[in-house]
Structure 1
């Protein structure tokens, strides 16, 4: 069992003026199941990191206290299991079974108990591979399920889940939610961060809403919180059931073909695929985890060569053969993991990098950077380190870096991951505007609401 107590808790990352989270007074009793809500940047992930004992003293400034059963979280780590937004950062072994066993071995679990607990945890999350499957061969969604299995195998008293289904297809997400439900018992305390509230409600009995920089804004049973604060929460960016988003339809029909895949395949990762992406349209690429959606995005973006078939893009053939400068101005790519494309230590420098490499005048670079910072709500973070951003902020920065060189075609992998309702709508509006200005958009996504709101066509991959 685990009881959580925060008194006046706050945390400010080193080098940042604004506090990531501040003034939090909160008590979570043994066995409670709590959904933690708040707009992107409200400090939800930071709070979970504090409870997991992962905020190093030399990496920021703290105020107030955080306790788990009266202990500093750094002394209560064996009572806590945590799954953060990026499961790849939690995978440490080359084989899947060994990865789930790793935590058990470190905890000194008797050898005879380890493999039965590994198999039980893998079955609970619906993991479709055996123990010997290489972790490097997993899709993002499969990695997430494996990481969750590693957490569940430890049988923690406090279970911390940060967007546990964000990168999963609907079937995989349902398996994970079911696994979490089965893993909970009267002695397990749950703190869940999840933007899609309706799917999370069956798992919880209490909702806590964080106000950016201002502590707890609402706290209580879900029905009572939504009845009293639903409209205000939706306006602030929280996904509240019963507040639909209007679709953004194209102003005109599609234009010329910007990229075409003809039987394009990558051995072991993507079966032969045929598709075309046009100027003036949004093409959604959907399908189950492991179908090769991210691989297809890399092919269309010119970042990978097909092992068979072909990818051709206007105006000069196979994009993987283009020089970097030509590719940057014609096709912009946004990866599934935003941090994989950050190379500087300041948000503003990240946005300026592409235009500077193209030799754009300093005044033009400054205009581009300022415009993108404002458009994607990143102005206050211009001097921040990209690696200290929240998941939603990092996703918006990754989109902005791709837009900085004004490419005609934009290829995005899970563009709405980590976004609250407000920034989701703003991102959809931004992409709709690009489409209506004649740009082409290819979006790999599991987000059915995104497809319904924006996509002109859907191309579904089969596994």
Structure 2
């Protein structure tokens, strides 16, 4: 079971001129393990959604055929498991164990087998809590492990994984890859989308590369694909093992302090934290999943009221509001001063087109329509979104959505940019373009705070790093850690990994 066959398959989202994926001819035999690659926007996630039977006919236009064991995907859903790019979108229950049990109950698994299978799946992915842990209390990386556990518990014939380690710390990523390796036996077919190519190669025996223009560009054993086509693939944006992106790190000396955190915390998610954000400097926030990195980003962005301590903005950032904490600034003032990029891009989209999404911030700050258009056109060109100006943000690929979220934060030219996983979902080419853009902002005197697991991004850009420690677990919620995290300067020549912690 689990044989896949596509003949001239294509899909175009409703309201879009361009096809998300087109002209795909592909056969994946029972038990094969395939790594699916391609530049950002090539249609990898769309193809996985199609195989999972998640593209209803009334939501777009299809051409060609797609079959699993000779039947349409809509008829094989119970035998197919998929983990999405955004794990939060597939969590449905309030408690973690109940979420893993949900699929088993729907498939009619005998009651006596459900909880042993739930506990086994949670253990295999390295889930760090008891099954009663509230799903709302999980970090993005922890949600990713839970979503994978829910799929592995079903023991599917066809396993589809869309960047399963994208938001995980290195230890968590190793656990998940080990869980995948154990889960995929001779009876399971695997199709994996992953930007950590070197780390993913032990899991697969075949590499398929989609062409951004449509169809399959390269198909074969990993060694042959990267030996014969590595240079051309890297030039087109595909992450290729052994071909590093040159580091770019040197900047000007840091300027004045713009933002100071004094014992800033949010129990139980974030321990008391001290830090200073300086103009013309990039600060990378590191640490394991569950340490409170995303919570810290929301606090620094003025989007969350501090639970403990205080956040003080200097006059150079706050202007007349220097005596007022950022979370109490009026929305137009906050947008002009601090731009925020969320971990999940879709959480910040509020309009119907890419153009309007970029225009929203400048319009709220009172810019003229001529100035708005100039700014939007500049960002569309710079971040390779110009062909998508009229597209619905929710139909973008993961990498495109991430670039749009970064662009929306930059649209008002804020003095401080706070980004949660800014290189999430980028191919080799767009990753470097984002790094260059951030470096230019830093060198022009803007401040950058980046929550990231991307060690290569840190090596290329960060002037300082802040490492958060994960608070100990009490069984229900982690308490506030007794000591603040440390801030250190990065080593002179940090060793880069094989690929950045990207996504799509």
Range class of TM-score, shorter chain: over 0.9
C-alpha separation between the residues in 2 aligned to 1:341 and 1:412? 12
1:397 aligns to 2:397 (yes or no): no
Q: Contact 1:294/1:336 (CA < 8 Å) preserved in 2?
A: yes
SS of the aligned residue for 1:202 comes to: helix
Q: What does 1:61-460 correspond to in 2, within 5 Å?
A: 61-315=61-315, 316-317=322-323, 318-460=325-467
Q: Contact 1:31/1:188 (CA < 8 Å) preserved in 2?
A: yes
SS of the aligned residue for 1:218 comes to: strand
C-alpha separation between the residues in 1 aligned to 2:203 and 2:280? 41
SS of the aligned residue for 1:40 comes to: coil
Q: What does 1:30-69 correspond to in 2, within 5 Å?
A: 30-69=30-69
Runs of 4+ in structure 1 deviating by more than 2 angstroms, as ranges, are: none
Per the TM alignment, residue 398 of structure 1 is displaced from its structure 2 partner at its CA by: 0.3
SS of the aligned residue for 1:254 comes to: coil
SS of the aligned residue for 1:412 comes to: strand
So what's the TM-score if we normalise by structure 1?
0.99
Per the TM alignment, residue 213 of structure 1 is displaced from its structure 2 partner at its CA by: 2.9
| Cα-to-partner distance string for 1:29-85 (whole Å, 9 max, x where unaligned) | 000000000000000000000000000101110000000000100000011000010
Q: Contact 1:156/1:188 (CA < 8 Å) preserved in 2?
A: yes
C-alpha separation between the residues in 2 aligned to 1:106 and 1:39? 36
C-alpha separation between the residues in 1 aligned to 2:259 and 2:408? 21
Q: Contact 2:35/2:207 (CA < 8 Å) preserved in 1?
A: yes
Per the TM alignment, residue 249 of structure 1 is displaced from its structure 2 partner at its CA by: 2.0
So what's the TM-score if we normalise by structure 2?
0.91
Q: Which runs of 5+ in 1 are unaligned?
A: none
C-alpha separation between the residues in 2 aligned to 1:169 and 1:252? 30
Per the TM alignment, residue 165 of structure 1 is displaced from its structure 2 partner at its CA by: 0.3
C-alpha separation between the residues in 2 aligned to 1:307 and 1:17? 47
Per the TM alignment, residue 314 of structure 1 is displaced from its structure 2 partner at its CA by: 2.2
C-alpha separation between the residues in 1 aligned to 2:238 and 2:256? 38
C-alpha separation between the residues in 1 aligned to 2:261 and 2:254? 17
Q: Contact 2:333/2:365 (CA < 8 Å) preserved in 1?
A: no
Q: Contact 2:29/2:189 (CA < 8 Å) preserved in 1?
A: yes
Q: Contact 1:355/1:405 (CA < 8 Å) preserved in 2?
A: yes
| Cα-to-partner distance string for 1:425-459 (whole Å, 9 max, x where unaligned) | 00000000100111000000011111111111111
Q: Contact 2:249/2:459 (CA < 8 Å) preserved in 1?
A: no
Q: Contact 1:346/1:386 (CA < 8 Å) preserved in 2?
A: yes
C-alpha separation between the residues in 1 aligned to 2:6 and 2:307? 54
Per the TM alignment, residue 97 of structure 1 is displaced from its structure 2 partner at its CA by: 0.7
C-alpha separation between the residues in 2 aligned to 1:413 and 1:348? 22
